[in-house]
Structure 1
Amino acid sequence: MKITRSSQILAASVLGLTLAGAGLAGPAAADDDPSGTGGIDVSVNIQSTSTPGQLSMTVADNTGVSLQENGSDATARQFTGTLPTVTVTDTRTPEEIPAGEYWAVVGQASEFVAADDPSKKIGPEYLGWKPRLLSDSSTGSVAAGEPVSSVISDGSGAPTVGLEGQELLVSTANSADEIGTSEVNADLALRTPVDVAAGEYHSTITLSLFNQS
């Protein structure tokens, strides 16, 4: 009963306000502007607040990756670590994505150069990785890239091509079916000859997001 009574009071108040406004407006228009030429046009141009979606990539905050010796054997010295989490986000609508478009995150390592002697180098072909999909909120099929090994095989059967233009994360269908957010990282493994020169070496892994059809 209380709910019904409150509703009736609210309706009456709105109705009363509407009627009062109508009663005041009628005489004013008739007395002050008998010709009807004093009307003022009021217009407003309201811009859309929506912005186009976009495809973007971010890398988790990090201080770099320090590879540690782990798994060395008679055929190679091995140093391992983990790539920081990489996130790809697609906020576009299906209408904003051309038919047949797809994307890929590709990694490229530079040479490892010794800090104490730039003449001492280890090529990117000695660095491998194993990408790992961490999460995927898209509606389509997003997959981690294929593992690759150092040119000194790790025995896993992965291609021994090193980290030179290898896929970390790929959309495997039409991008319009893969709107959402995907996260990936990778296990890194540097396998060098057993007689590699001692020293502190530095390399840079460059990650690029390619969008193509």
Structure 2
Amino acid sequence: MRINRTAQLLAAAVLGVALAGAGAGVAGAAVAEDDPDNGIDVSVTIEPNSTPGEVSMTIADNGGVALQEDGSNAAARQFVGTLPTVTVTDSRRPEDIPDGDFWAVVGQAGEFTVTDGSAPPIGPEYLGWKPRLLSDSTTGAVAAGEPVSSVISDGSGAPTVGLQGQELLVSTADSADEIGTWQVNADLALRTPVDVAAGEYHSTVTLSLFNQS
């Protein structure tokens, strides 16, 4: 009987694998000898970084902030939450920072509105915050912004101006100390009149990074 040529080749290939395995079992694996002359030197010359640094801001991934009622009293209804962590990184070199240069993260809240317009909006002056520095700043080069309260005071003595162009994080004007990574968040508190209309309200807090000399 004639055997197809392709079948012969396939049989040979399978046999070869079987023989190789058998041979390895008898003779053992070959071990390469260490030879210093076979070593390969790997080198790299890294030039000074010529890419200018920058001041940048990122906000932690989040699904928004859902304020929850807590601390309401006869003077106001209060709804609280926490701002996602905000990170500012200054990667500039000290010699590239002009004298007197500083940066700041500023927050601005929009009106709280009900989608179907069934209730009057709640202005940004009713939303306050208390920024909190999460990074160690032993030099005092970077500081959290001052707390502000709703126009309906929370009794803390904070200015009752609401979240209308308020600083969340600010640097000093000392270039050497500004460099690094800094993180901050803030306690949010919406204080409304006790007779506020019921509804699902939405607002947007916009954070902007300003760098000035």
TM-score w.r.t. structure 1 length?
Answer: 0.75
CA–CA distance in structure 2, aligned partners of residues 93 and 48 of structure 1 = 12
Higher strand share: 1
The residue aligned with 1:184 is: 184
CA RMSD of aligned residues (A): 2.1
**Shift of residue 174, structure 1, vs aligned partner:** 2.0
CA–CA distance in structure 2, aligned partners of residues 63 and 114 of structure 1 = 19
The residue aligned with 1:173 is: 173
The residue aligned with 1:156 is: 156
The residue aligned with 1:65 is: 65
CA–CA distance in structure 2, aligned partners of residues 172 and 137 of structure 1 = 12
Which string of whole-angstrom CA distances, capped at 9 and with x for unpartnered residues, describes residues 94-122 of structure 1?
Answer: 11111110010000000001123166200
Asked whether 1:198 is paired with 2:202, we answer no
CA–CA distance in structure 1, aligned partners of residues 118 and 53 of structure 2 = 45
SS of 2:83's equivalent? Answer: strand
**Shift of residue 51, structure 1, vs aligned partner:** 1.8
Q: Is the 8 A contact 1:79 1:190 kept in 2?
A: yes
The residue aligned with 2:116 is: 116
CA–CA distance in structure 2, aligned partners of residues 51 and 173 of structure 1 = 23
Q: Is the 8 A contact 2:119 2:199 kept in 1?
A: no
The residue aligned with 1:32 is: none
Instruction: Between 151-160 and 130-139, report the one with greater CA deviation.
Output: 130-139
Instruction: Between 166-175 and 67-76, report the one with greater CA deviation.
Output: 166-175
Q: Which amino acid aligns with 2:160?
A: T
Mapping of residues 18-97 of structure 1, within 5 Å:
50-97=50-97
Which string of whole-angstrom CA distances, capped at 9 and with x for unpartnered residues, describes residues 17-42 of structure 1?
Answer: xxxxxxxxxxxxxxxxxxxxxxxxxx
Q: Is the 8 A contact 1:53 1:93 kept in 2?
A: yes
Q: Which amino acid aligns with 1:199?
A: G
Q: Which amino acid aligns with 1:67?
A: L
CA–CA distance in structure 1, aligned partners of residues 198 and 119 of structure 2 = 13
Which string of whole-angstrom CA distances, capped at 9 and with x for unpartnered residues, describes residues 49-101 of structure 1?
Answer: 64211110000000000000000000000000000000000011011111110
Instruction: Between 49-58 and 145-154, report the one with greater CA deviation.
Output: 49-58
CA–CA distance in structure 2, aligned partners of residues 190 and 91 of structure 1 = 35
Mapping of residues 202-213 of structure 1, within 5 Å:
202-213=202-213
TM-score w.r.t. structure 2 length?
Answer: 0.75
The residue aligned with 2:142 is: 142
CA–CA distance in structure 1, aligned partners of residues 200 and 67 of structure 2 = 11
**Shift of residue 177, structure 1, vs aligned partner:** 2.2
- Alpha carbons of structure 1 residues 181 and 48: separation in structure 2 relative to 1, 3 Å: closer
CA–CA distance in structure 2, aligned partners of residues 63 and 104 of structure 1 = 25
Q: Which amino acid aligns with 1:148?
A: V
Q: Mind listing any 5+ residue stretches in structure 1 that lack a counterpart?
A: 1-9, 14-45
CA–CA distance in structure 2, aligned partners of residues 49 and 172 of structure 1 = 26
